[in-house]
Amino acid sequence: MARIELDHIRHAYGPDPKSDADYALKEVHHIFEDGGAYALLGPSGCGKTTLLNIISGLLHPSHGRLRFDGEDVTELSTQERNIAQVFQFPVVYDTMTVYDNLAFPLRNRGVPEADVDRKVRETLEMIGLAERAQRRARGLTADQKQKISLGRGLVRSDVNAILFDEPLTVIDPHMKWVLRSQLKQLHRRFGFTMVYVTHDQTEALTFADQVVVMYDGGIVQIGTPAELFERPKHTFVGYFIGSPGMNVMPASIEGHLATVGSQRIELPGAPVVPPQGKTELGIRPEFVRVGSQGMPVSIAKVEDIGRQKIVRATLEGREIAAIVGEDEEIPAEPRVTFDPARISIYANSWRIELGV
């Protein structure tokens, strides 16, 4: 396993990149610690696969260096980097048996046959294909084939890292959950450095210790699931994480007061540095209280989500969501308040610090 260092990495697919817009991957300067479980999370097209392929060596970055445990591997092939990668769609040898598909990467490296057998059996159990070990891969369903691909990634224990690129796309929902839990267990047991690409926040938040949120070719925040929830550094993280995402509204800030439309909202502190540019107030639906106190809203609809309700309302002409308990009464003339400690202030989309 290795510590992976991305040293000022950038990538453009086209020749002669000039402006930022020409880069599929803007500057990434970051370290993946040895043995960490990371998720790269972001919408389609934000550069996740590009970054993963640069780590594995399928792609040579336009700028920057990549190091494993301090050693420069930028010019090394995928083989030489000793990386296992699992792709979105299955890559299997159709004419081989399921067993041989898993044994292949081990035999290729001259692992003694007794060890091959032990590892392959263990992995077959894990992916739930033990009964089909002697079947040819050709006849299997897409999700069984993808389990073979996953197995091929997991069967080796000598790799520097295991990279997953949306590996559960073709797997049915229940099995998704099972495989994800197994990956997590495996990580705990063997301490592989794992980088897992997904556009699904549930997958990212349940799998990873550290979630790397990507947006438009860059990393906007790296943090634990709790940090991303509590202190979104960028409004994009606020929107993208959480269900529904954070409420973000234009606000003017003066000292410890924010003004939204005609409403004044007390902040927990004044900005440490006066904010420049476009200023906004962010509050997660979990921290919006609905009752008879505060700012008047009109309610558009209430969605029942089991033990809670999502209240969709309009505040000062803008949509706002609140999450309330299933038994909470909503008054005829509803008003909302924000938990002051949970308010974030953004200037040009980036969170700013408030003093006390």
Q: Give me the residues that bind ligand ADP (CB under 6 A), please.
A: 13, 24, 42, 44-50
- How many degrees, rounded to 5, is the angle at CA 154 between CA 30 and CA 5? 15
Residue number, 126 or 214, with CB nearest to ligand ADP: 214
Q: How far apart are CA 167 and CA 76, in angstroms?
A: 25
Q: Which stretch binds Mg ion (CB under 5 A): 41-49, 172-180, 268-276, 305-313?
A: 41-49
Q: How far apart are CA 65 and CA 277, in angstroms?
A: 34
Does position 193 bind Mg ion by CB under 5 A? no
**Minimum distance of ligand ADP from residue 58's CB (angstroms):** 10
**Minimum distance of ligand ADP from residue 14's CB (angstroms):** 7
Residue number, 49 or 247, with CB nearest to Mg ion: 49
Per-residue b or e along 57-95, where b marks 16 or more CB atoms closer than 10 Å to that residue's CB: bbbebbebebbbeeeebeeeeeeebbbbbbbbebebeee
Residue number, 219 or 323, with CB nearest to Mg ion: 219
Does position 201 bind Mg ion by CB under 5 A? no
Does position 49 bind Mg ion by CB under 5 A? yes
Residue number, 49 or 56, with CB nearest to Mg ion: 49
Residue number, 28 or 253, with CB nearest to Mg ion: 28
- For 115-166, what is the HEC assignment? HHHHHHHHHHHHHCCHHHCCCEHHHCCHHHHHHHHHHHHHCCCCCCEEEEEC
Does position 85 bind Mg ion by CB under 5 A? no
**Minimum distance of ligand ADP from residue 202's CB (angstroms):** 17
Q: How far apart are CA 146 and CA 231, in angstroms?
A: 36
Binding residues (CB under 5 A) for Mg ion: these are 49
